[in-house]
């Protein structure tokens, strides 16, 4: 009872234990560590340590039966617009109303459509979103196309080397700028509330344009909690226009007949700080998503001109 495999390019540079656990997600960690300690796991015929970094093409011997075949995600036909793409990653201009990843098998989503657009053979790396946007949030969504790129993007996300900027239309006149650090707690029913028992969250914002009724604000999500921008701004008396869950229903009702059918939140840009190999070439680069039709139409109706500088 054993299994051999060769390290693929997408796993080049990964730790041995990480690669094996991806193959055997149900294998107890204790059993895996025992196999390493007893020298039962070998790479190119030599005893391996769990922390060894493996290279593409190396042969790994495991004292376990062949892993179960993973279920293949369902591809869905549908178009996607790309703001940026190269061999390592792409940035999708996600339309509102589309999931980032399927909630159940067969759901229409960015991930499912990518499988339909970009052919990948069995066992090869599948396009993987690095973060999520809510179904009704539009804008820039970062997708990794290779394993090393995904690992570096996850590292950059943790180290805040990627700056995520959103634009939102809120009800009320926003201050020129502000910072909100209310902790957020996710309750049953997918609702998020401000609570001292919640997770640390930090949102920065500044007003780009507006009048006495509404404001266009630029938002930096320093942390990435669910519904963070919507809940934080609502807690400051600045709910997003069109937000049924956290917004002002009387205002939403008025604007629904004029095409505002979702929270007016758009992932405007992604800016890359200091990046490492294989994505060092992205350092200092910013990718922007154009405003969707509903938001641009609202701003034009309000005759706000300043926003045109950034569109």
pLDDT digits (tens, 9 = 90+) for 80-135: 999 999 999 999 999 999 999 988 888 899 999 998 888 655 557 889 999 999 99
Closest CA to 99 of 118, 85, 124, 78: 78
Strands 191-194 and 184-187 come out as antiparallel
Looking at CATH, the fold of the domain delimited by 3-62 is given as: 3.10.290
59-81: string of b/e by CB count within 10 Å (b at 16+)? ebbbebeebeeeeebbbbeeebe
Which range among 12-26, 164-178, 213-227 shows the weakest confidence by mean pLDDT? 12-26
The residue with tokens 């979103």 is 129
For 285, the 3-state DSSP assignment is coil
- Indicate whether 183 pLDDT > 60: yes
- Indicate whether 309 pLDDT > 60: no
- Indicate whether 237 pLDDT > 90: yes
Question: What is residue 122's predicted lDDT score, i.e. its pLDDT?
Answer: 52
Question: For residue 12, how many other CB atoms are within 10 A of its CB?
Answer: 17
- CA 53 to CA 51: how far, in whole Å? 6
Question: What is residue 55's predicted lDDT score, i.e. its pLDDT?
Answer: 87
Where would I find the beta strands (DSSP E) of 95-230? 128-129, 138-144, 162-171, 177-180, 184-187, 191-194, 203-210, 214-221
Mean pLDDT within 175-196:
94
Question: What is residue 197's predicted lDDT score, i.e. its pLDDT?
Answer: 95
Mean pLDDT within 18-42:
89
Token pair listed for 249: 């229903």
Token pair listed for 63: 């004292």
Mean pLDDT within 184-190:
90
Q: What count of residues does the chain have? A: 311
For 288, the 3-state DSSP assignment is strand
Superfamily per CATH, domain 82-310? Pseudouridine synthase (3.30.2350.10)
pLDDT band at 307 (very low <50, low <70, confident <90, very high): low
- Indicate whether 209 pLDDT > 60: yes
Catalytic residue among 134, 209, 243, 294: 134
Strands 138-144 and 265-272 come out as parallel
Token pair listed for 264: 């007016």
Residue with more model confidence, 263 or 58: 263
The residue with tokens 């039966």 is 65
Mean pLDDT within 156-173:
96
Residue with more model confidence, 107 or 271: 271
**Mean predicted lDDT score pLDDT of the chain:** 91
- CA 243 to CA 174: how far, in whole Å? 17
- Indicate whether 276 pLDDT > 90: yes
Q: Has 86 been annotated as catalytic?
A: no
Question: What is residue 310's predicted lDDT score, i.e. its pLDDT?
Answer: 52
What are the sequence ranges of the domains in the chain? 3-62, 82-310
Helices (H), 126-259: 147-158, 228-235, 249-256
- CA 101 to CA 149: how far, in whole Å? 19
Question: What is residue 12's predicted lDDT score, i.e. its pLDDT?
Answer: 85
Closest CA to 95 of 83, 84, 107: 83
Which range among 14-18, 132-136, 204-208, 242-246 shows the weakest confidence by mean pLDDT? 14-18
With beta carbons less than 8 A apart as the criterion, state whether 94 and 287 touch: no
With beta carbons less than 8 A apart as the criterion, state whether 164 and 220 touch: yes
Mean pLDDT within 162-188:
96
For the residues of 26-45, what is the DSSP string, one character each? Answer: TS-HHHHHHHHHTT--EETT
CA dihedral 299, 264, 204, 224 (to 10 degrees): -150
Mean pLDDT within 206-213:
92
- CA 139 to CA 93: how far, in whole Å? 5
- CA 91 to CA 82: how far, in whole Å? 6
- CA 59 to CA 96: how far, in whole Å? 45
């Amino acid at each position: 009872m054993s299994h051999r495999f060769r390290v693929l390019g997408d796993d080049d540079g990964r730790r041995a234990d990480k690669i094996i656990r991806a193959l055997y997600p149900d294998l107890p960690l204790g059993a895996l560590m025992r196999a390493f300690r007893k020298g039962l796991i070998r790479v190119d015929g030599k005893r391996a340590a769990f922390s060894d970094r493996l290279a593409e093409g190396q042969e790994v011997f495991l004292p376990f039966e062949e892993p179960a075949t993973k279920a293949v995600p369902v591809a869905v036909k549908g178009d996607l617009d790309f703001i940026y793409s190269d061999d390592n990653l792409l940035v999708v201009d996600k339309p509102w109303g589309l999931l980032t990843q399927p909630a159940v098998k067969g759901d229409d989503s960015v991930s499912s459509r990518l499988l339909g657009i970009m052919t990948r053979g069995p066992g090869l790396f599948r396009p993987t979103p690095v973060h999520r946007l809510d179904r009704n949030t539009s804008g820039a969504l970062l997708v990794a196309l290779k394993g090393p790129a995904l690992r570096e993007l996850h590292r950059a996300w943790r180290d805040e080397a990627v700056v995520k900027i959103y634009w939102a239309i809120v009800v009320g006149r926003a201050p020129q700028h502000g910072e909100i650090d209310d902790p957020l707690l996710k309750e049953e029913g997918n609702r998020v509330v401000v609570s001292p028992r919640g997770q640390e969250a930090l949102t920065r914002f500044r007003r780009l344009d507006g009048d006495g009724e509404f404001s266009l604000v630029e938002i930096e999500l320093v942390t990435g909690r669910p519904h963070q921008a919507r809940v934080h701004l609502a807690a400051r008396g600045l709910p997003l226009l069109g937000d049924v869950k956290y917004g002002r229903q009387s205002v939403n009702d008025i604007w629904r007949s004029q095409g505002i059918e979702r929270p007016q939140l758009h992932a405007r840009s992604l800016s890359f700080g200091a990046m490492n190999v294989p994505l060092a070439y992205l350092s200092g680069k910013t990718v922007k998503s154009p405003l969707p039709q509903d938001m641009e139409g609202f701003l034009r109706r309000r005759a706000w001109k300043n926003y045109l500088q950034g569109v």
